[in-house]
Structure 1
């Protein structure tokens, strides 16, 4: 680990204390896993503490850890992962927080700390079903308003639940049950002796 990353880790340990579950560095990046109950408070410290000064939120996404590591994962299922940038120190940081409940995943919204979190949190809600407590306009952003479910969850059916099509008789878009039939696709095998030759 470089001296700069070691300094960042030391600053994080000093400022966050027990608010952080873990802080580790790998491949030139630092990741901190925060406790869900102090997530918002920790985010404010990351932004406001001069020794850290993470004034910019670059990205926020949801993650579904179901069947992670071939089912060896025993932790919580849903997490929100945020990437932060400190312009003052030229540091980057990955922040991960796990929702305490898998059935009803809720974490605090970061919109009071970084306004840029707004649409990212809406996307994580839409695609993973992670709720962000304190978000003032948490609604779908990529799927249709009547969409049922969250399509990036690992247990969501690949074919979806409904399909939509334009009905020429009704002259409008209609929703109907999925008509795609499940089938096994066997790939065509190309053998070297037949490759590029006459068929």
Structure 2
């Protein structure tokens, strides 16, 4: 581990204190886990502390851990992940915070800390159903306003829940339950016996 990464780890420990639930350095990258109750405060410290100065939010996304590790993983199902960059100090950190309730995942909005988070949080709400408390305009961003469910969740059906078609009598597009029967397609590789074998005469000595 580089001395720069070690210094960053120590500085984060000092600055975040009990808000820091865990930290791991792997492949030259640092990942930290934050307590949901201290999420916004800790992010503010990551931005403002002179030795950290993570002034830029590069990305915000959500991970659905349902079934991860054959279901043996412990912890929150939905985890919000941030990627932060300090332009001035040339350092990066990955931040994770879990949503306490798997049925209704809620976490505070960090839009007041980095205003670039606004559309990222709307996208995460749309695709995963994570509610960002305090967001001023939390609406769907990619799916239609009448869309049902959150399509990036692992339990969302591949065929969806509704389909739309043009109704010539109503003269408009209407929604109806999806007519595709759910099925699971397992790829199969079918080969003839001896596929890829060399001709017999080539295997003979002196051939």
Give the TM-score normalised by structure 2.
0.88
Give the structure with higher Rg (CA): 2
1:146 is paired with a residue whose SS is coil
> Structure 2: which 5+ runs fail to align?
197-207
Q: 1:128-143, aligned counterparts within 5 Å?
A: 128-143=128-143
1:174 is paired with a residue whose SS is strand
For 1:121-151, what per-residue CA distance to the aligned partner results, in whole angstroms no more than 9, with x for missing partners?
0011011110101100001001110111111
The separation in 2 between residues aligned to 1:146 and 1:169, in whole angstroms, is 21
> Structure 1: which 5+ runs fail to align?
none
The separation in 2 between residues aligned to 1:94 and 1:38, in whole angstroms, is 16
Find out whether 1:116 has 2:100 as its counterpart: no
Change in 2 beyond 3 A, CA 1:38/1:165: same
Find out whether 1:35 has 2:24 as its counterpart: no
Tell me which residue corresponds to 1:147: 147
Q: 1:60-75, aligned counterparts within 5 Å?
A: 60-75=60-75
2:100 is paired with a residue whose SS is coil
The separation in 2 between residues aligned to 1:80 and 1:51, in whole angstroms, is 24
The separation in 2 between residues aligned to 1:164 and 1:101, in whole angstroms, is 32
State the Cα distance separating 1:22 from its structure 2 match: 0.4
State the Cα distance separating 1:55 from its structure 2 match: 0.2
Give the TM-score normalised by structure 1.
0.92
State the Cα distance separating 1:182 from its structure 2 match: 3.3
Instruction: Say how many residue pairs are matched.
Output: 195
Change in 2 beyond 3 A, CA 1:192/1:88: farther
2:126 is paired with a residue whose SS is helix
State the Cα distance separating 1:194 from its structure 2 match: 7.3
Change in 2 beyond 3 A, CA 1:154/1:184: closer
